[in-house]
Structure 1
Amino acid sequence: MDHENAFKQWKRQCFSKVDFSKKGNIDDEIYPVVCLINDSSNYFTTSSCSGRIILIDGVLGLQKASGNAVFKFEPFVLHVQCKDIESAKLLHSVAVNSGFRNSGMSIGKRGKIIMAVRSTHCLEVPLSHKGEILVNENYIHFLVQTANQKMAENVTRIKRFYDGLQAVLQADGSSSMATCKDKTTKIVQNQHQRKTQDSVIEDSQIPANKFSDSEDYLETSLILFS
């Protein structure tokens, strides 16, 4: 089987698989990006996450933490299988120019070319050690504000990536961009109508941000200090 037919088969197989992520579907925030890529004959997505703020420990609430609780902000990440090296290079260029400077590609033994779109503005801070809280409430508030700022920048980079991707795919004619036009338009309109505070978490809470990938993190909505 030649590479082009193999790529088409890989794409069909990927779309026929069950989504085993906790959310079970694509985040609305990045649906337009994912749809744009999957509508192209040169790409298809294998996993995605729009970004999330989480507390990892294994129990509900920081004061009940029995282990090593960690506060994390994880930015947008996207894995895309590319038809060929040139397609991967094009996607990499768009990603880097959009602010996702930690992006890169890998080539598997069977010739699969995977492009990872990712950035470095993560945040990971230990909050407790063996059940002992290491920080005070004021510091928690500061962390949440910092994470919110990073999330806002994350959203800006996603929008920049979408615009750049749309431009290059229109130029090379590899995407009809008609398959999911109606739903994409509706989602984008809804995003513009949301108030800024709707996307910002309260200083005393961590929400269950939506994601769609294979990582098995504990993700919960909880009060840090009761």
Structure 2
Amino acid sequence: MVRSYSKISQRYSMWDSFRNTRIKLLEEAISEGKVDEKIIPLLKKINENKDLVTISSCYGRIVLLGFDVAKTKKTSTFYQKWHRRVSEEEVELALANYTGRLPLWFKVEPFILHVAAKDMPAAIDFLTKMRKAGVKRGGIQGIQKDRANIEMQGTISLAFPVDAFEGSWNDMIAMANKMMELNEKQVKKLERIKW
């Protein structure tokens, strides 16, 4: 009996140490301006639950990315990224000034969060709440002695090579901004959950 209690106690102290480290790293990243401002309220809300801790996040973004589909992801380079809605002028100016060698892609990417849960019941509870909030893309990505790692991601996305686009940038930017607005509504909905 003492042994099993000792193992449980050790697992929770490992969790507490891991969680405290992650919270400190997040606080440092926030103070250095390395965290997307609009996702900070959600991160803080999730971190109020002692059985959870956020590991990484992105609020969602509009991106111009140099990328060659014939090569690996390692060859991609961010040319321009905005974690907000953009103007047609911003995008057209960025396109006009692009001098990279890789084909340029226009992308809209949804929010993404990585969260660690203390144990499987906490992970399942998190996933249940996530799905009730309307987020369908997510799941357990890995299990370690002291935690389960979860990924949660929005579904709003768009990607195409700039050279192949023949439409109106005004219409495309309006669509991208609408997608960012929907992404923002999803994040706000997640903020209202009692994690």
TM-score for both structures, normalised by structure 2:
0.71
Following superposition, the deviation at residue 93 of structure 1 comes to 1.5
Indicate yes or no: 2:144 matched with 1:105: no
Secondary structure in 2 matching 1:61: helix
Following superposition, the deviation at residue 25 of structure 1 comes to 3.2
Over the aligned positions, Cα root-mean-square deviation in angstroms equals 2.4
Indicate yes or no: 2:112 matched with 1:77: yes
Give the structure, 1 or 2, with the largest relative contact order (CA under 8 Å, sep 6 or more): 1
Q: Out of 41, 44, 49, which is 1:32 matched to?
A: 41
Indicate yes or no: 2:91 matched with 1:62: no
**Aligned residue for 1:139?**
168
- Structure 2 vs 1, CA of residues 17 and 33 (structure 1 numbering), >3 Å: closer, same or farther? closer
Following superposition, the deviation at residue 153 of structure 1 comes to 0.9
Following the alignment from structure 1 to structure 2, what is the Cα–Cα distance between the partners of residues 9 and 97? Answer: 30
- The gaps in structure 2 that reach 5 residues or longer are 1-6, 67-76, 80-92
Matches for 1:107-186 after TM superposition, within 5 Å: 107-128=142-163, 134-136=164-166, 138-163=167-192, 165-166=193-194, 169=195
Following the alignment from structure 2 to structure 1, what is the Cα–Cα distance between the partners of residues 175 and 41? Answer: 27
Following the alignment from structure 2 to structure 1, what is the Cα–Cα distance between the partners of residues 42 and 144? Answer: 28
**Aligned residue for 1:7?**
15
Following superposition, the deviation at residue 32 of structure 1 comes to 1.5
1:181-204 C-alpha deviation (Å, 9 max, x unpaired):
xxxxxxxxxxxxxxxxxxxxxxxx
Following the alignment from structure 1 to structure 2, what is the Cα–Cα distance between the partners of residues 25 and 94? Answer: 27
Following the alignment from structure 2 to structure 1, what is the Cα–Cα distance between the partners of residues 139 and 25? Answer: 25
Following the alignment from structure 2 to structure 1, what is the Cα–Cα distance between the partners of residues 114 and 153? Answer: 9
Q: State how many pairs are aligned.
A: 159
Higher helix share: 2
Following the alignment from structure 2 to structure 1, what is the Cα–Cα distance between the partners of residues 54 and 142? Answer: 15
Identity across matched positions, percent: 23
Maintained 8 Å contact 1:99/1:119:
no
- Structure 2 vs 1, CA of residues 38 and 20 (structure 1 numbering), >3 Å: closer, same or farther? closer
1:20-76 C-alpha deviation (Å, 9 max, x unpaired):
79x743322122111111122111111011111111136683244442101111111
Higher strand share: 2
Report the AA paired with residue 32 of structure 1: P
Maintained 8 Å contact 1:81/1:114:
yes
TM-score for both structures, normalised by structure 1:
0.62
- Structure 2 vs 1, CA of residues 90 and 120 (structure 1 numbering), >3 Å: closer, same or farther? same
**Aligned residue for 2:121?**
86
Following the alignment from structure 1 to structure 2, what is the Cα–Cα distance between the partners of residues 43 and 109? Answer: 14
Following superposition, the deviation at residue 107 of structure 1 comes to 2.7
Secondary structure in 2 matching 1:67: coil
Following the alignment from structure 1 to structure 2, what is the Cα–Cα distance between the partners of residues 95 and 119? Answer: 11
- The gaps in structure 1 that reach 5 residues or longer are 129-133, 170-226
Following the alignment from structure 1 to structure 2, what is the Cα–Cα distance between the partners of residues 12 and 144? Answer: 41
Following the alignment from structure 2 to structure 1, what is the Cα–Cα distance between the partners of residues 24 and 117? Answer: 18
Following the alignment from structure 1 to structure 2, what is the Cα–Cα distance between the partners of residues 96 and 50? Answer: 18
